[in-house]
Amino acid sequence: MSLELSQVEAVVLAGGFGTRIAHLLEGVPKPMVPVGGRPFLEWVVRYLARQGIPKVILSTGHLSEVIEAHFLPQPVAGVLTRCIAETRPLGTGGGFLNAARLSGDSPAAWLVLNGDSLVFADLAQAAAGLRDPAVAGVVVGCTGPDASRYGTLTIGPDGELCGFAEKRPGRGVINAGIYLLRDSLVRELAGTPPLSFEKDLFPQWIERGMRLKVCPVVAPFLDIGTPDSLREAESFVLGNRAQFSD
């Protein structure tokens, strides 16, 4: 049975401090830095709208009130957007679990992605990985010639996720930070925050024998975590305008 993106709810992780570019942020959280006339985080939500995701939770932390004030009027048509704040830093995995549990929702699957990066992957392609009921989750990976800035995915012969490797030069499948997880998988999780997806949650799932697939894509990719990449953000967004809802 296929999984429609209308059955998926997204959690966008937007709680980080942005320490490497804090001097450029002028009192706003990193995902809210202005790019092309809008906060970067709004472009992330507009990408999700274009992909057909109907509900988005923003997992906020540092300067959460700035994010909440912007998204309270629902600036992206067709997407119900709300914020759920951390009361203390919970890590990427912990922030997601906090948002999922406090939401009260139980979608067919959760889509997790970062609020400080854009990867123009076809999410329907990733969702196709969940047609097999034995697959509990899908990790999107970007195939690229140089993985030196990012962690890479270790992939088995049948496309299964075996683990995460450290940053290393050369060609590899970069962890795009996009995860599609069945709600049943999420509800079974245990652990005390802070929790990392790469260091805590995925190793736990793999150890328990959960079947996790990798969906490799070739897609434009940008994160705004360094001054250099932040300077590239406006041309990247405006050069890919078709990827966003109006």
* 111: CATH: 3.90.550.10
When pLDDT is cut at 50, 70 and 90, the band that residue 231 belongs to is: very high
pLDDT band at 191 (very low <50, low <70, confident <90, very high): confident
> What's the pLDDT band for 17 if we cut at 50, 70, 90?
low
pTM: 0.94
**Which residues contact residue 172 at a Cβ distance below 8 angstroms, ignoring those fewer than 6 apart?**
143, 144, 147, 152, 153, 165
The angle that helices 227-239 and 40-51 make with each other, rounded to 10 degrees, is 40
Nearest 5°: phi and psi at 245? Answer: -75, 155
Residue 163 belongs to some domain of the structure: yes
Give the per-residue pLDDT at 167.
78
Q: How many domains does the chain have?
A: 1
Q: Which domain holds residue 61?
A: 5-241
Counting residues of the chain whose pLDDT is more than 90, the rounded percentage is 80
Question: Could you tell me if residue 246 is inside a domain?
Answer: no
In a domain, 43, yes or no: yes
Q: Is 193 exposed, middle or buried (0-12, 13-18, 19+ CB in 10 A)?
A: middle
pLDDT for 149 beyond 90: no
* pLDDT category of residue 23 using cuts at 50, 70 and 90: low
Position 128 pLDDT exceeds 70: yes
Average per-residue pLDDT for the chain? 92
Asked whether residue 241 carries a pLDDT value surpassing 70, the answer given is yes
Q: Which pLDDT score is estimated for 91?
A: 93
Q: What is the 3-state secondary structure (H, E, C) of the chain?
A: CCCCHHHEEEEEEECCCCHHHHHHCCCCCHHHCEECCEEHHHHHHHHHHHHCCCEEEEEECCCHHHHHHHHCCCCCCCCEEEEEECCCCCHHHHHHHHHHHHHCCCCCEEEEEECCEEECCCHHHHHHHHCCCCEEEEEEEEEECCCCCCCEEEECCCCEEEEEECCCCCCEEEEEEEEEEEHHHHHCCCCCCCCCHHHHHHHHHHHCCCEEEEEEECCCEEECCCHHHHHHHHHHHHHCHHHCCC
- pLDDT bracket for residue 20 (50, 70, 90): low
Instruction: Say what the pLDDT of residue 57 is.
Output: 98
**Looking at the predicted structure, is the pLDDT value of residue 139 above 70?**
yes
Q: What is the pLDDT of residue 76?
A: 98
pLDDT band for position 187 (cuts 50, 70, 90): confident
- Confidence at residue 144, expressed as pLDDT on a 0 to 100 scale: 82
